[in-house]
């Protein structure tokens, strides 16, 4: 059976999606439209590029210098140029400090030197990046990794050459309707990036914008050459992780409201299946592993606080539609795993992937919900759920 698939975000926890997708394919199912946020956007993009579950599992095992290649996604900030620092937020802050006993010309030079020293020092450059670029880490190595993946292997017997494509070019080459969720903090609105809304936006940067957890990775600034969004200029707008507004926008495949279909296209007859990363469901511990968790300081503080805040903000509308369409959602266990645990050990990674496999198999083995519900009650419940999805989707796209 063909399904329209929705993939939730969750950082490193998104590895559970691969196990679930493997069983989905193994049982003979195929995908139609694809929708993803953050880690879900990465998964959706690779599937759209023709990646098999086996190829995706192999990617999870890749290592560099004895560590997971994913650990490099938390990269050191790129060097700062002096011109940018002179007009940056940190320099502006120092400009507000007036040392009366120092001549202005010397004071200005001293402040420039202090800012440059902070930007060059390995102990403080992340803080400077946080202030100037909106994120503690750089994601340059993620971009390089994704570009390599989109140009590796074959799809339908032809070499993959997708890394330089725009969303329109990618759709023309594959025929796959791929939509990625991002958040425009300048315009204070949700973005659904696809070949209809942002045809000139590069595929790689659409994924990069969707996965940019606020304050963790540096923000992405929309470039002039990326064109418009729904015909509106976007150059200079700051874009971050779509999870800031909706981490699981399954309602966009369900609603048939005009403002939704203008972005997603006409509602389809294909059933919808949402892959939800559930932090409340335990992952069975791998045999022989008692304790093997490397917790970073940023996982305890920065990321947990940011993710908790984002989850609180988004849970109102995401939770409502999940409850309304619970029968369309497969819950994938991820309790005890961290958003930035990219260098998790092989046993922990395998346990997470296995949990995804088991959850998907259990879901697909269930009898259809409709078979257990009297027809009249089913119709009423379906109508009420549809109305809730329409309401939530319309409100989401109308933000702010």
Of the candidates 116, 137, 158, which is a domain's last residue?
137
C-beta separation of 207 from 149 below 8 A: no
Q: Helix (H, G, I), strand (E, B), or coil: what is residue 121?
A: coil
C-beta separation of 211 from 241 below 8 A: yes
In a domain, 49, yes or no: yes
Residue 305 has pLDDT above 80, yes or no: no
Print burial letters for 236-271: b (CB count within 10 Å at least 16), e (below 16).
ebbbbbbbbbbbbbbbbbbbebeebeebbeeeeebe
Both 52 and 117 in one domain: the answer is no
Q: Helix (H, G, I), strand (E, B), or coil: what is residue 352?
A: helix
Q: Of 15-19, 279-283, 361-365, 377-381, which range is least confident?
A: 377-381
In a domain, 23, yes or no: yes
Residue 377 has pLDDT above 50, yes or no: no
Tokens for 144, please give them: 């390089």
Both 212 and 312 in one domain: the answer is yes
Residue 300 has pLDDT above 60, yes or no: no
**CATH number of the domain that 383 lies in?**
3.40.1090
In a domain, 169, yes or no: yes
- Bridge partners, residue 331, by sequence: 276
- Residues 259-288 have a mean pLDDT of 88
Both 34 and 89 in one domain: the answer is no
Q: What is the pTM of this model?
A: 0.87
pLDDT tens, residue by residue, 222-236: 999 999 999 999 999
Report d(CA 136, CA 218) in Å as an integer: 7
Q: How confident is the model at residue 373 (pLDDT cuts 50, 70, 90)?
A: very low
CA nearest to 274, candidates 17, 12, 79: 17
Both 32 and 90 in one domain: the answer is no
In a domain, 185, yes or no: yes
Q: What value, to the nearest 5°, has the Cα angle with vertex 192 and ends 191 and 195?
A: 125
Of the candidates 121, 137, 153, which is a domain's last residue?
137
Both 104 and 42 in one domain: the answer is no
pLDDT tens, residue by residue, 55-67: 999 999 998 888 8
Report d(CA 201, CA 195) in Å as an integer: 8
CA 187 to chain centre: 19
Q: How confident is the model at residue 106 (pLDDT cuts 50, 70, 90)?
A: confident
Both 119 and 161 in one domain: the answer is no
In a domain, 75, yes or no: no
User: What's the pLDDT at 72?
Assistant: 87
Report d(CA 398, CA 321) in Å as an integer: 17
Residue 237 has pLDDT above 80, yes or no: yes
Q: How confident is the model at residue 291 (pLDDT cuts 50, 70, 90)?
A: very low
C-beta separation of 240 from 190 below 8 A: no
In a domain, 77, yes or no: no
User: What's the pLDDT at 288?
Assistant: 47
Tokens for 4, please give them: 């329209």
CA nearest to 190, candidates 262, 135, 244: 244
Could you tell me the residue range of the domain that residue 124 belongs to?
82-137
Both 126 and 167 in one domain: the answer is no
Task: Provide the domain count of the chain.
Answer: 2
Both 94 and 44 in one domain: the answer is no
Report d(CA 313, CA 317) in Å as an integer: 9
Report the percentage of the chain scoring pLDDT > 70.
Answer: 86
pLDDT tens, residue by residue, 111-163: 888 888 998 998 898 888 888 888 888 999 999 999 999 999 999 999 999 99
Q: Any residues with CB less than 8 A from the CB of 252 and at least 6 apart, and which?
A: 35, 179, 192, 260, 263, 264, 393, 396
User: What's the pLDDT at 371?
Assistant: 38
Both 126 and 170 in one domain: the answer is no
Contacts of 109-118 with C-beta under 8 Å, sequence gap 24+, read 112/82, 112/85, 112/86, 115/85, 115/86, 115/88, 115/90, 115/91, 116/80, 116/82, 116/85, 118/90
CA nearest to 41, candidates 240, 215, 227: 240
Mean of per-residue pLDDT scores for the chain: 86
In a domain, 242, yes or no: yes
> What's the N-to-C CA distance of the chain in angstroms?
38
Q: Between these two residues, 342 and 286, which has the higher pLDDT value? A: 342
Q: How many CB atoms lie within 10 A of CB 148?
A: 12
Q: How confident is the model at residue 368 (pLDDT cuts 50, 70, 90)?
A: low
Both 345 and 239 in one domain: the answer is yes
Report d(CA 185, CA 188) in Å as an integer: 5
User: What's the pLDDT at 399?
Assistant: 56
User: What's the pLDDT at 273?
Assistant: 97
Q: Any residues with CB less than 8 A from the CB of 220 and at least 6 apart, and which?
A: 205, 208, 209, 212, 238, 239, 240
Report the percentage of the chain scoring pLDDT > 90.
Answer: 53
Residue 94 has pLDDT above 90, yes or no: no
In a domain, 222, yes or no: yes
C-beta separation of 203 from 49 below 8 A: no
Report d(CA 361, CA 114) in Å as an integer: 58
Q: How confident is the model at residue 100 (pLDDT cuts 50, 70, 90)?
A: low
Both 165 and 296 in one domain: the answer is yes
Of the candidates 137, 152, 179, which is a domain's last residue?
137
Both 132 and 262 in one domain: the answer is no
């Amino acid at each position: 059976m063909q399904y329209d698939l929705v993939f939730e975000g969750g950082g490193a926890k998104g590895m559970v999606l691969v196990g679930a997708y493997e069983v989905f394919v193994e049982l003979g199912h195929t995908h139609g439209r694809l929708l993803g946020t953050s880690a879900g956007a990465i998964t959706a993009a690779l599937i759209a590029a023709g990646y098999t579950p086996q190829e995706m599992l192999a990617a999870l095992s890749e290592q560099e210098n004895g560590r997971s290649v994913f650990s490099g996604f938390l990269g050191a900030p790129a060097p700062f140029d002096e011109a940018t620092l002179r007009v940056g937020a940190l320099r502006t802050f120092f400009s507000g400090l007036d040392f009366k006993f120092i001549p202005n010309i010397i004071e200005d030079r001293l402040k420039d030197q202090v800012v440059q020293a902070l930007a060059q020092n390995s102990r403080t450059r992340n803080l400077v990046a946080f202030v100037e670029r909106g994120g503690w880490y750089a994601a340059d190595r993620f971009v390089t990794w994704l570009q390599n993946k989109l140009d590796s292997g074959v799809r339908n017997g032809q070499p993959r050459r997708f890394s330089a494509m725009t969303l329109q070019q990618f759709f023309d080459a594959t025929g796959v309707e791929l939509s990625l969720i991002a958040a425009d903090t300048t315009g204070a609105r949700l973005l659904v990036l696809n070949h209809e809304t942002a045809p000139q936006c590069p595929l790689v940067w659409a994924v990069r914008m969707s996965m940019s957890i606020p304050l963790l990775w540096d923000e992405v600034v929309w470039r002039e050459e990326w064109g418009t969004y729904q015909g509106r200029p976007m150059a200079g707008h700051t874009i971050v992780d779509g999870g800031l507004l909706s981490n699981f926008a399954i309602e966009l495949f369900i609603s048939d409201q005009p403002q939704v279909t203008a972005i997603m296209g006409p509602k389809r007859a294909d059933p919808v299946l949402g892959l939800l990363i559930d932090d409340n469901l335990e992952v069975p511990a791998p045999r022989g592993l008692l304790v093997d968790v490397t917790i970073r300081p940023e996982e305890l503080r920065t990321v947990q606080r940011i993710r908790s805040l984002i989850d609180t903000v988004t849970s109102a509308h995401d939770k409502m539609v999940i409850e309304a369409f619970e029968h369309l959602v497969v819950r994938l266990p991820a309790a005890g795993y961290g958003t930035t645990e990219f260098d998790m050990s092989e046993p922990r990674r395998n346990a997470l992937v296995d949990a995804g496999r088991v959850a998907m198999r259990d879901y697909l083995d269930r009898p259809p919900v409709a078979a257990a519900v009297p027809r009249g009650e089913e119709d009423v419940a379906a109508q009420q759920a549809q109305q809730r999805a329409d309401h939530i989707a319309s409100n989401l796209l109308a933000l702010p």
